[in-house]
Chain A
Amino acid sequence: MIVVSELRKQFSVRGNTLVAVNGVSFAVGNSEVYGLLGPNGAGKTTTLRMVMGLTEPDSGWVEIGGTRTDTDATGIRHQLGLISTNDGVYPWLSVREMLMYFADLYAVEPQIAESRLAELAELLAIGSFLDQRCSTLSTGQKQRVTLARGLMHDPPVMLLDEPTRGLDVVGSQTVFQFIELLKARGKSVLLSTHRLDEAERVCDRFGLLHHGTMRYEGTLGDLREQTGKTHLVDMFIELIREDRVGQATLGKSD
């Protein structure tokens, strides 16, 4: 369960103030996949970082499983899993060593970690190369190792930051299956992406961010009612067209 309330964060870049996130609120229930959508620079990553407690918000708060992140920023991370685009693997460690290392980082007891590793090896089909060095793995294998890494401490909340960027169809498919798996296990999933077609497929509810503010929020049905458009892509194009700077950004956004 994630509750985000009135988050606000501004950065000063060379003397200019940039409001990255401006009063964003939403909530993600258990067994729910929430899509945090928006073009590049909409404030998705900053919001995720504030949810993780890596960035301190200027105002507003985040609650994970009933605990505010500002009261126990470190403890809250036991509840959170994170998988992002740029995630890599340790080339010189074996898959098993790497996953057990992360279990230790989350202070998971070694016996529990062992059994969880066995379970994940089966679920994500990484059993055959558990003792292979990560540098020898294919891209797809590395990706599955990364997904397993996010589940080693069995967090109730999973944050996915652009998990499919740069992946082919097969890779993306693995991620979708993974999200289904998380959902089936009752986890709250917060998915940040600008791949609107994918979001439509896997998310239960959506929040459309633009210039740091939440423009539309709800299920696909709600959004269709609010905007009068059928697809997320059209909603986005509309959003951007409203904007003064529309012409400039149109070409860039997917």
Chain B
Amino acid sequence: MQPSSIASYMANGRLGRLCLKELRESLRDRRTLITLILMPILVYPLLSMAMQRLIVGTASGLNADKTEYIIGVKDEQAGSLVASALGETALAIRQGVRHSIEIRRPMLTSSVTKKTATKATVAENTGGNNAPQSDTADRNPEVRENASAIDPQTAGFNIVVAEGISLQQALDEGQVDVAVLQVRSESVSLGRNGTYPAYQLELSFRDADLRSEAAMLEFRKAMELVNDTQSLQFRGALPPAVRMISTATGRKVDAMASLAGILPLILILMTITGAVYPAIDLTAGERERGTMEAMIATPAPRFLLLLSKYVAVVTVAVLTALANLLACWITLSIGGLGRALLGEKGLSLLAIVQILPLLVIFAAFFSAILLAMCSFARSFKEAQAYLIPVMLVSLAPALLTLMPNIEFSTLLGIVPLVNILLLSRDIMTGSPQALPAFAAVFSTLLYAAAALVVASRLFGAESATAGSQETWSDLVRRPKRMKELPDLGDLAVYLALMFPVFFILTNLFGQIDLSIASKLWINAGILLVLFLIAPALVAQYRRLNPRSTFLLGGWLGDSGPMGSGELASGAPGVSHGAGLFRGLGVLCGVCLLASGLWVIAFEVLKVLSDFGFGAISIDRTEALEEAKVQFASIPFWMIFVTSALVPALAEEFFFRGYVLSAFRNRIAPLRAVLYSALIFGLFHVINGSVLSLERFFPTTLLGLALGFVAIRTHSLWPGVLLHAIHNGLLFWLTRFSEKELSEWFGSTNQHFPPIWILASLASVACGIGLVYFLTRQRFHENAT
């Protein structure tokens, strides 16, 4: 697979046509179309009906349950009024006026209960019979006993008085299900028949809360019953006995979060379903039809063959996701289920726009997994046998996300599948958090890349060897020959394995209460292990030439052709003196770069925070101030070693050594520098347990400069020096107070004065120019 042959497949839209063939094959297949179109059309309406049933069931179908709804009132008097208002209903039923209603409608009432909630206390309510305004007891003394003999099998109301807490608060906190804000009663004259009491109630309930809504529903029905009874008795000639106004109040999300979690789960499951068939069909299916061998026998690079299949599978998966999202949205909007599940706004368009990319990322990840699983299956049946356990295994943690109290914590951010599910749930309920969200997206993309690499190795290996036993060992087999540069696929796998470890470790030590000095040492240790020792071991195992991979050839690197790594420094035909001159020149250039870059990095941060991007929140400022004080107590050499020297060594070794070399192996140097700088920037966004998005830009900028120096000098050391000076200067600055700094820089708004910025830019330009010109001849020798 030499680059030139890959290039010939990339040219003239050939790769596009290869993808098109796979897509045609998938999309013309009826079975794909069924999952793509028919399933969403069927699943969501059915699901909606089931959910409606569930909600209605909770609201009215609890007759068999001994559900007691808690009605909150202001004081005892109000409690008595409410009780007597509802008490009328009890009478009505017992008198047998409306048998039909009695069967459906359980009654209630004013039983004396002590609620031992923390803040609300219970009124010693003796019930509606004793209410001063009520003449019920006088008219029907025998009913009183009946009314208190409530059927234990029915739902009822429990009237409590809120004490030491406002009614609204009690309602918001879920201590009461319905709050009676106002209750008035008046006597309505019946002419010669005397008077009857009429009640006016003002109630409040929690919107989109099953229990509260159900309580409201019960209450309303009880009230209607009273009125119906009365209008029957008096033939509708009178105004209703009970009137009420109800208002919905802020919703309580927690109870619904678990139900809201179902939606992402279904969307993800459907996306998976969409990808499964094409993944099997384009790999194992190809074998079964006998087209695989002919395809593998062509000179087309296997990675590209797999890539075209991957593109097709992802496309079908994304189309399925889109169809499902659309069907889901339509169903939720039409049925009103969206409001019940997700609150007032239902499934907003914004949430859809946010969830779709998540589904795309997930499709990218899962399609790669599916292809890896199917790549060494010989038949449809075999592939299915592999996939079913995978699906079941991934379903178990997925179901976990349905538990209501699962919070999308930082560490769950790196658990594949679970992270996307929880993130989508949080987006739907409108409360996503930045760090876990970043971890979820970044780690899933890394896993996708790694899975794709695994898939392409399996896809290649499977036909090359006669027996399938060898396929797995191919993945991790130690190469026989030494290689100059690392494989891009190895990098993807290493990143996918290393990122979760890095993430967990930095988070863990960010939260543990340790002295700042020990934190600095631990951090330096983590960097050394993950960025220096582990890559070195990987390189050793994969038989990589350390000189060419990690650019260890001396101050100005190896002078032979790029990657040869054979010759020591001092190219033939270049005198020793000229070499020394160039070495010193590069040193000057690096110093110039270092003296200017930190100012620019600092300024970029400032400008970003001026625009509100990554503005530091109050608690973080406090933490920073505290850190500053603690920092001051540590000797500077320790800070320099742990925060400048070790990071410079380890990060240069990994990002400019391993990462940049892996990219250089496949793509043009400048693009390799760009990609390695982006990865460098992304890794720096994770800052302990905090997501510092604003660090991405200055760090990527630094990464570009470091990458440039590395490929021009073909050596790690100038970059290490530059990186160490840069970090050292920034940390040195933290030792001064802001007052001192502003006096120094002659500026009060924390920005550098323009003359500083100009000087820094000039210094950086000179540094770049110097490095560029001094390495020009060598670079071209290397490139050819």
Contact = CB atoms under 8 A, between A and B. Distances in A.
Interface in A63-118: 74-78, 80, 82-84, 86-93, 97, 100-102, 104-107, 109-110
State the main secondary structure of chain A at its contact with B: mixed
A104 B294 contact: no
- Interface size range of chain B in the complex: 20 to 34
A136 interface: no
A107 B9 contact: yes
Contacts of A56: 464
A77 B293 contact: no
Contacts of A107: 5, 8-9, 14, 299-300
B463 A54 contact: yes
Contacts of A91: 289
Interface string B276-298: 00000000000001110111111
B742 to A, nearest CB: 63
Contacts of B289: 88-91
Nearest to A54: B464
A52 interface: yes
A80 B21 contact: no
Nearest to B296: A54
Given A13-B467, A101-B17, A110-B12, A87 B5 contact: no
Interface string B1-44: 11001001100101001100100110011000000000000000
Nearest to A152: B298
Contact of A55 (B9, B18, B464): B464
A102 B299 contact: no
A82 B297 contact: yes
Contacts of A210: none
Given A74-B1, A89-B291, A105 B300 contact: yes
Given A55-B466, A97-B24, A104-B14, A87 B297 contact: no
B29 A92 contact: yes
A106 B24 CA distance: 20
B1 A93 contact: no
A158 to B, nearest CB: 12
Given A87-B290, A104-B14, A105-B295, A55 B465 contact: yes
Given A52-B297, A74-B1, A74-B301, A11 B464 contact: no
B305 to A, nearest CB: 8
A93 B25 contact: yes
A109 B14 CA distance: 9
Contact of A90 (B12, B291, B465, B467): B291
Contacts of A88: 289-291
Contact of B299 (A46, A55, A92, A106): A106
Given A84-B293, A88-B290, A101 B21 contact: yes
Contacts of A87: 290-291, 293-294
A49 to B, nearest CB: 8
Interface string B389-410: 0000000000000000000000
Contacts of A93: 21, 24-25
Contacts of B29: 92
A149 interface: yes
B299 A77 contact: yes
B599 to A, nearest CB: 50
A137 B464 CA distance: 31
State the main secondary structure of chain B at its contact with A: helix
A149 B294 CA distance: 9
Contacts of B8: 107
A55 B291 CA distance: 18
A77 B466 contact: no
A217 B275 CA distance: 52
Contacts of A11: 466-467
A134 to B, nearest CB: 10
Contacts of A105: 18, 295, 298-300, 305
Nearest to A84: B293
B8 to A, nearest CB: 5
Contacts of B21: 90, 93, 97, 101, 104
A109 B24 CA distance: 21
B458 to A, nearest CB: 16
A78 B299 contact: yes
Interface string A27-56: 000000000000000000010010010111
B14 to A, nearest CB: 5
A54 B14 CA distance: 24
Nearest to A9: B466
B249 to A, nearest CB: 57
B28 A77 contact: no
A97 B298 CA distance: 17
Interface in B296-322: 296-301, 305
Contacts of B5: 74-75, 107
Nearest to B288: A88
Nearest to B465: A55
Contacts of B294: 82-84, 87, 102, 149
A21 to B, nearest CB: 12
A32 B312 CA distance: 42
A52, A76, A77 — most chain B CB neighbours (10 Å):
A77
Nearest to A106: B298
Contact of B297 (A54, A89, A101, A110): A54
Contacts of A104: 14, 17-18, 21, 300
B93 to A, nearest CB: 68
A149 B291 CA distance: 11
Contacts of B1: 74
Nearest to A86: B290
B28, B463, B467 — most chain A CB neighbours (10 Å):
B28
Interface string B455-497: 0000000011111000000000000000000000000000000
A87 to B, nearest CB: 5
Nearest to B9: A107
A93 B467 CA distance: 30
Contacts of A75: 5, 299
B293 A82 contact: yes
Contacts of A13: 467
A102 B28 CA distance: 19
A11 B465 CA distance: 10
A78 B300 CA distance: 9
Contacts of B465: 55
A56 B465 CA distance: 9
Given A82-B293, A87-B294, A88-B290, A74 B18 contact: no
A40 to B, nearest CB: 15
B462 to A, nearest CB: 11
Nearest to B299: A77
B620 to A, nearest CB: 54
B718 to A, nearest CB: 38
A88 B287 CA distance: 9
B28 A92 contact: yes
Nearest to A52: B297
Nearest to B8: A107
A102 B305 CA distance: 12
A52 B297 CA distance: 7
A139 B49 CA distance: 50
Contacts of B12: 109-110
Contacts of A46: 466
A97 B20 CA distance: 10
Given A82-B293, A84-B293, A104-B18, A90 B298 contact: no
Interface of B: 1-2, 5, 8-9, 12, 14, 17-18, 21, 24-25, 28-29, 289-291, 293-301, 305, 463-467
23 contacts: A11-B466, A11-B467, A13-B467, A55-B465, A55-B466, A74-B1, A77-B299, A78-B299, A86-B293, A87-B294, A89-B289, A90-B25, A90-B289, A92-B24, A92-B28, A97-B21, A100-B17, A101-B21, A102-B298, A104-B17, A104-B21, A105-B299, A107-B9
Which 3 residue pairs of A and B lie closest in terms of their CB atoms, listed nearest first?
A88-B290, A77-B299, A88-B289
Interface of A: 11, 13, 46, 49, 52, 54-56, 74-78, 80, 82-84, 86-93, 97, 100-102, 104-107, 109-110, 133, 149
